[in-house]
């Protein structure tokens, strides 16, 4: 292991012990820098996915280091526990990305899941449902991985890859196993949500990518399933997210959408082997980690998260507003953002592909349009218009620093993606032409905005002044789009509600499972002799098997 990585492990470990002392942000930040440098050397040298993930983790850690202590100062509940567990969680994730496939990997994987569960569950009773969903998803993921790791060499590649798809896919929110993510990520505190969405989900992608080196090339159906489920999940998550009232919940749905596109890109790579898919896969990961980290950290400044109660934040806190605008613009896939570049590469790959995969172009276009709608809604409802309730954003200097530490690399990545993708030796984008275009666009916007606007409305129909409550609310804005998609049922009335049949299916499965569990529970009669008898019978049966 290179020395920056070693130093990073020691520094982050030391920060776990340091608690919330003065040295804490410096230790964490230096550790993040170590991850960035060590991972960058690995990524630049041999294009290793481990190095890539470490670099991504380092970038997020650099943003988190100034942010976390300040945030925890406003969050007195369990602050000490958070300050201790977050570095451990970082270490576990870094360990997973470096571990060889085998027992150490499984151990670190489960440890990471457990620490993530703790971080969600620390939020108390209101996070209970989310924490439970996280835990169950981790169990499912672990089961898939055990099937793959233990079955290697005994089962055929189909079974091994089915296990991998389940094990890593659940973590990467593969449709239809994505439902846990929008339950679990929003209920955690914002820095933790940023880590979960930004970094941990990427480990599922990392695993799927590495698995072809560990377990041999995947059978053909794996790539097809990834592409199909990826696009399906992206569309589903965006439409569902359009009906989400919670700001962070909507961000979590957007995570599912982005992960779906990355999974689809990986599926395309498995099917065709085209390097364009790989470029899209990696660039989208780091772009998503940065912009989602930025948006989640930014949402940590808000005490109120219901979209229909927010509004007009831009005027109250222009700093937060402009950084959020940057994140939202990248997230919506506007050029020249990193997500746009990744989608551009994905388009090119899909156009060049043959057969089924070309249909992905349509799906990607639909996703792009929906993402735009989605982020306009999110930003417009929360930051534009008039304030609907007294929400005073609290941003201390450290939190501002953390946001900037994520925004600057995001901007650099968007403008110079080829520098970042150099190890893949794949040009995605004529990047220098971007600058004049960008200036032209900004100038146009500025020129348009300069025109004097009227302070009265000719056609205001006798309503000279709109009250804040007349603005569209969370569901009102997206209602026309929601009607187009029959897999969600919108119930309008006194209290508009969104019904999700897929969640109902899971609820039924959960009920059936508990019934089965209660049936098994009748074995637990409490009689010691009955338990011993079961052991004797087991022994006899095992001995009897020898006779077969």
CA dist 219 and 271 (Å) reads: 9
Q: Which stretch binds another protein (CB under 8 A): 14-22, 217-225, 388-396, 533-541?
A: 533-541
Closest to another protein by CB, 484 or 520: 520
Residues 484-523 that bind another protein (CB under 8 A): 521
CA dist 141 and 96 (Å) reads: 14
CA dist 163 and 141 (Å) reads: 9
What is the nearest approach in angstroms of another protein to the Cβ of residue 533?
5
Is 462 an interacting residue with respect to another protein (CB under 8 A)? no
What is the nearest approach in angstroms of another protein to the Cβ of residue 548?
11
Q: Which stretch binds another protein (CB under 8 A): 47-55, 143-151, 225-233, 529-537?
A: 529-537
Burial of residue 273 (number of CB atoms within 10 Å: 0-12, 13-18, 19+): exposed
Of 449, 461, 519, 536, the one binding another protein (CB under 8 A) is: 536
Q: What angle do CA 255, 261, 266 make, to 5 degrees?
A: 125
Closest to another protein by CB, 354 or 522: 522
- The Cβ of residue 215 has, within 10 Å, a number of other Cβ atoms equal to 19
Is 541 an interacting residue with respect to another protein (CB under 8 A)? no
Q: Which stretch binds another protein (CB under 8 A): 131-139, 234-242, 444-452, 526-534?
A: 526-534
Of 154, 451, 495, 529, the one binding another protein (CB under 8 A) is: 529
Q: Which of 49, 356, 363, 341 is nearest to 223 (CA)?
A: 356
Is 524 an interacting residue with respect to another protein (CB under 8 A)? yes
Residues 6+ apart with CB under 8 A from 546: none
Helical axes 247-272 vs 201-215, angle rounded to 10°: 20
Q: How many residues bind another protein (CB under 8 A)?
A: 18
- The answer to whether residues 281 and 346 touch, using CB atoms and an 8 Å cutoff, is no
Q: Which of 446, 198, 445, 431 is nearest to 336 (CA)?
A: 431
The three-state secondary structure class of 244 is coil
Is 437 an interacting residue with respect to another protein (CB under 8 A)? no
What is the nearest approach in angstroms of another protein to the Cβ of residue 527?
6
Q: Can you spell out the DSSP letters for 184-220?
A: HTTTS-HHHHHHIIIIIHHHHHHHHHHHHHHH-SPPH
Is 467 an interacting residue with respect to another protein (CB under 8 A)? no
Cis peptide before 317 (omega within 30 of 0): no
Site string for another protein, 346-375 (x = CB under 8 A): ------------------------------
Closest to another protein by CB, 467 or 535: 535
Of 425, 455, 484, 528, the one binding another protein (CB under 8 A) is: 528
Closest to another protein by CB, 461 or 545: 545
Helical axes 3-18 vs 49-73, angle rounded to 10°: 20
Beta strand spans in 309-402 (E): none
Q: Which stretch binds another protein (CB under 8 A): 128-136, 148-156, 278-286, 532-540?
A: 532-540
Q: Which residues pair with 306 in a beta bridge?
A: 246
Q: Which stretch binds another protein (CB under 8 A): 130-138, 205-213, 470-478, 524-532?
A: 524-532
What is the nearest approach in angstroms of another protein to the Cβ of residue 524?
4
What is the nearest approach in angstroms of another protein to the Cβ of residue 515?
15
The dihedral formed by the CA atoms of 96, 102, 107 and 112, expressed in degrees to the nearest 10 = 20
Residues that bind another protein (CB under 8 A): 521, 524-529, 531-533, 535-536, 539-540, 543-544, 546-547
């Amino acid at each position: 292991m290179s020395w920056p990585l070693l130093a990073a492990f020691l520094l982050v470990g030391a920060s776990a012990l340091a608690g919330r002392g003065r040295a804490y942000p410096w230790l964490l930040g230096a550790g993040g820098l170590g991850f960035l440098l060590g991972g960058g050397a690995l990524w630049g040298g041999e294009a290793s996915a481990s190095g890539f993930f470490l670099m991504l983790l380092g970038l997020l850690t650099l943003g988190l280091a100034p942010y976390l202590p300040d945030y925890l100062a406003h969050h007195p509940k369990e602050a000490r526990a958070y300050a201790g567990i977050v570095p451990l969680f970082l270490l576990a994730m870094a360990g997973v990305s470096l571990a060889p496939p085998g027992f150490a990997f499984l151990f670190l994987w489960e440890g990471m899941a457990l620490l993530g569960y703790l971080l969600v569950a620390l939020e108390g009773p209101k996070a209970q449902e989310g924490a439970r969903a996280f835990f169950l998803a981790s169990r499912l993921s672990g089961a898939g991985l055990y099937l793959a790791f233990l079955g290697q060499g005994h089962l055929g590649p189909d079974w091994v890859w089915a296990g991998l798809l389940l094990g890593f896919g659940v973590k990467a929110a593969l449709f239809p196993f994505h439902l846990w993510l929008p339950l679990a990520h929003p209920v955690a505190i914002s820095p933790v949500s940023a880590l979960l969405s930004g970094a941990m989900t990427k480990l599922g992608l990392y695993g799927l990518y590495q698995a072809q080196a560990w377990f041999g090339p995947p059978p053909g159906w794996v790539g097809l399933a990834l592409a199909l489920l990826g696009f399906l999940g992206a569309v589903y998550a965006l439409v569902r997210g359009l009906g989400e009232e919670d700001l962070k919940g909507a961000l979590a749905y957007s995570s599912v959408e982005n992960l779906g596109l990355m999974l689809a890109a990986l599926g395309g790579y498995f099917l065709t082997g085209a390097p364009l898919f790989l470029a899209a896969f990696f660039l989208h990961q780091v772009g998503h980690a940065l912009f989602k980290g930025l948006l989640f950290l930014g949402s940590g400044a808000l005490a109120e998260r219901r979209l229909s109660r927010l509004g007009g934040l831009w005027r109250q806190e222009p700093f937060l507003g402009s950084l959020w605008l940057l994140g939202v613009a990248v997230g919506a896939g506007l050029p020249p953002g990193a997500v746009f570049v990744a989608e551009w590469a994905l388009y090119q790959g899909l156009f060049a592909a043959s057969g089924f995969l070309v249909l992905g172009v349509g799906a990607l276009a639909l996703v792009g349009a929906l993402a735009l709608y989605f982020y306009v809604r999110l930003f417009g409802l929360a930051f534009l218009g008039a304030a609907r309730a007294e929400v005073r954003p609290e941003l201390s200097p450290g939190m501002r620093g953390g946001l900037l530490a994520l925004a600057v690399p995001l901007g650099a990545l968007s403008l110079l993606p080829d520098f970042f993708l150099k190890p893949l030796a794949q040009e995605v984008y004529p990047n220098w032409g971007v600058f004049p275009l960008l200036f032209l666009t900004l100038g146009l916007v500025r020129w348009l905005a300069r025109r004097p606007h009227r302070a009265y409305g000719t056609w205001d129909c006798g309503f000279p002044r709109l009250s804040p409550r007349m603005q569209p609310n969370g569901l009102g804005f997206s209602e026309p789009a929601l009607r187009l998609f029959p897999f969600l049922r919108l119930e309008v009335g006194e209290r508009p509600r969104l019904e999700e049949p897929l969640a109902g299916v899971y609820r039924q499965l959960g009920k059936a499972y508990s019934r089965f569990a209660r049936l098994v529970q009748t074995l637990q009669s409490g009689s010691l002799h009955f338990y011993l008898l079961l052991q004797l019978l087991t022994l006899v049966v095992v001995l009897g098997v020898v006779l077969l």
